[in-house]
Amino acid sequence: MRRFLVPRASIENASVVQPESEQDPPIHVANNSEFNPDEIQSDPALRKQIAEYAPQIQDQVRRAYILKGRTKPELEFRRTDSRAFSKSWYEKCNWIEYSDSEDAAFCFYCFLFKQPGRAEHFGFEVFTKTGFRDWKHAYRALPEHVGGLNSGHNNCVRHYDDFKSQRQSVSTKFARGTVESHRLYKIRLTSSLECVRYLIAQGLSFRGHDESTASLNKGNFLEMIDWLKDSNEEVRDAFDRGGENCKMTSGEIQKDLARCCAEEVTEMIMGELADKKFSVLIDESCNISVKEQMAVMLRYVNEGKVVERFLCLHHIKDTTSESLKLALVKLLDHYKLSISRLQGQGYDGASNMRGEFNGLQRKLLDENPHAFYVHCFAHRLQLVVVAVASSSCSYIHDFFEYISLIVTTTTSSCKKMEVLVEESHNDILERLERGEISIGRGLNQQTSLARPGDTRWGSHHKTLLRLDQMWASVIKVLSTVDANGRNPSHAAGCIEKMECFKFSLVLKFMLKLFGITNELSQLLQRRDTNIVLALELIHDVKVRLATMRDSGWESIFDEVKQFCNSKGIPVPNMDDEIPVRGRSRLEGRTITNLHYYRAEIFYVVIDKICVEMNHRFSDSNQEVIACFSCLDPKNCFSKFDVQKLSRLAEIYSADFSNSDRAILRDQLETFVLHLRNHAAFSTCKDVESLATKMVETEKHLVFPLVYKLIELALLLPVSTASVERAFSAMKIIKSKLHSTINDDWFNHLMICYTEREIFKSLDDEVITRRFQAMKARKGILPRHH
């Protein structure tokens, strides 16, 4: 026995590497006989032992861990007595895993196939339960754990190889399969997969209300299978000759295929991400089943380009910051992503997300001080628009109340909607005949009025734009409603409000103002927008607003006069005096029309929006953002500042060593001098195009520290528009007629549908291999597959 032990003198803590005793303590076996995928842990130290599961699900647990693979985090390993785990061991020992929580190494094969109650080799217990930490003697302990040909470790490896090969299973040996049966099984499986892939890509439901053979509509999946059988004789023969327990059309098979597709998509995303830094974009929304869903997206840089990928949709029962943090940490652990690699957080402005002391962003910052939080820029801009529409001045507030009343009066019934659409169509034909508008693809589409919403980005601008385009049609509908109404209505009052100079002035003015903000909103919602570009766009908008305040009144007033003349609306004399708004005529306080429209509406609204812009876009991370703005390549790097960029290396101290910080200043000076004289970089317009060009010309290898700064700048999120798009997909997949799918299946469908580009590029053979490895199947694929 002595040869199995390491001498006590050479090991400080002998309990770390002692073999397990001849009599193991009794193992508690779980009573739950159903497999729960949530129990599959990435961290080896947190896993339940295989023997603790119910015997009937132990194989399912093993397959889940085999599909998940070894846990191989790449991070700054903790040092104990100046020694630490070595990253090179992942390659030298194809069995080793690392636990970040316990700073210990484990054996993947022994964990899966260790036989409890048997002490066959050195370290058998250490590498499966307690974890190995004696890094000083690892050069000797790791080979001794592997041992000889018949060691416990190598027996586990042989069990692993046999387990992965379904042809070696007992059920397969007893089954009398032939080459022909394997071929037919492949046809059935491939046909079912083709139907699943089509339904997922189109966001369609799978199941039917009545799936019996006599049903006229058995659901999309079974109906597609029948269509394939009718159009392909080989497919029909394969299904007709298949056993009743191997048709490959059951609901469980459909879910397994969807799961395999989702896991392959996620694996490609994880492969693209590799060991890069990343940011998270998170938002919550309620689905049709009244369940709160948390959507998580990853933002990272791949070959100089910003990439945003959908990670998962997770059902949460509580939306407190602590619950959200626990859910996020659990998800990151599931996908083997360490919080130490997190470089940015992008959320909306909810208190549970952005709370300065107890919000989600603060809780993550406490664990990783470099995970800077950025409040979604598009959401901030919408808050600016809402503030202007509701509280800039009293008449602007009244104006949008009138707008809501007009929309309600003209669209509150099907009959009114039909009249509005018909009048709009006739108006378009008349304007085409007069040559006021032109024809073309996508022009003059049928539209209707939409109510502005505080949470719908750009909805205020869209409503005003449609009212302006459908002015004549709206007036005619209101007149019809007033003439044909049996009871008094608001129609006549709406016409009176619309056909006054004040309403027309505010309409044109707000169209101009919201046109500027809507253009910015559209640019902020692009996936490739980075923080430096976003700040430039916001600065440009502020400049445009200042210019409008200084010299924009005359042009808007002329436009309004022209509009009023064309609509028959009287234009008041600007020198006439009127009572002060909100005051009685008896007080005798008057002002001129010009002062009222220009000073109390035009100037007040622009000042309000400028104040709101400055308030909403003042970041707590102003120093970081200001430093990143120095990377802007415009005008031959006119903003380049070596001092500020060197400061970034101090802020991101975990990403730059002392030696890196020592040479960064010199590298920055060489970098800017070199690129200013390089013609290829003169076309760079923003930081992302600069990063892409550096990768194309391999300058990222010449200036690695500068490129790391550029990557960090691109990682900071700008908006959560990608998450909002995921919620739009959620409403397509889970609708009123498709509302009973469980959370796991819903998540798998969301992953494939949202990342359709990756999903459509998957090879059927890769998916079927994963499907076969997931669990023991009734059929076997041909050997060449």
Confidence of residue 295 (pLDDT cuts 50, 70, 90): very high
Query: What pLDDT, on the 0 to 100 scale, is given for residue 586?
Result: 79
The confidence band for 259, taking pLDDT boundaries of 50, 70 and 90, is very high
Of the listed ranges 217-221, 402-406, 425-429, 742-746, the least confidently predicted one is 425-429
Q: Rounded CA gap, 587 and 421, in Å?
A: 48
**What's the confidence (pLDDT) of residue 31?**
59
Cβ contact 114:121 at 8 Å: no
Those residues whose C-beta lies under 8 Å from the C-beta of residue 285, and which sit 6 or more positions away, are 292, 293, 295, 727, 730
Buried-exposed string 638-652: b where 16+ CB fall within 10 A, e elsewhere: eebbbebbbbbbebb
What is the per-residue pLDDT for 195?
A: 95
pTM of the model: 0.81
Asked whether residue 410 carries a pLDDT value surpassing 50, the answer given is yes
Q: Is the pLDDT of residue 408 over 60?
A: yes
Q: How many CB atoms lie within 10 A of CB 10?
A: 11
DSSP code for 44:
G
Do 296 and 325 meet the contact criterion of CB atoms below 8 Å apart?
no
pLDDT bucket at 785, cuts 50 / 70 / 90: low
Q: What is the mean pLDDT of residues 761-779?
A: 89
Q: What secondary structure, in 3-state letters, does 220-240 show?
A: HHHHHHHHHHHHCHHHHHHHH
Residue 215 pLDDT greater than 50, yes or no:
yes
Residue 420 clears pLDDT 60, i.e. is over it: yes
Distance (Å, whole) CA 83 – CA 707: 31
Work out the mean pLDDT of the chain and round it to a whole number. Answer: 85
Q: How far is CA 519 from the centre of its chain?
A: 23
- Among 36-45, 355-364, 545-554, the least confident range: 36-45
pLDDT digits (tens, 9 = 90+) for 5-60: 444 444 444 334 434 344 445 555 555 678 888 788 888 998 989 988 888 888 88
pLDDT at 176 over 70: no
pLDDT band at 617 (very low <50, low <70, confident <90, very high): confident
Residues 402-406 have a mean pLDDT of 91
Among 714, 739, 741, 19, which Cα is nearest to 303's? 714
pLDDT for the residue 645: 92
Please enumerate in sequence order all residues whose Cβ is within 8 A of that of 208, keeping only pairs 6 or more positions apart, or say none.
215, 217, 218, 219, 220, 222, 223
**Cβ neighbours of residue 183 closer than 8 Å, sequence gap 6 or more:** 782
pLDDT digits (tens, 9 = 90+) for 117-161: 655 444 557 888 889 998 988 889 999 899 888 888 999 999 988
The per-residue pLDDT for range 234-246, each reduced to its tens digit, is 999 998 887 777 8
Q: How far is CA 727 from CA 283, 294, 523, in A?
A: 9, 10, 20
In the chain, what percentage of residues exceed pLDDT 90?
Answer: 40
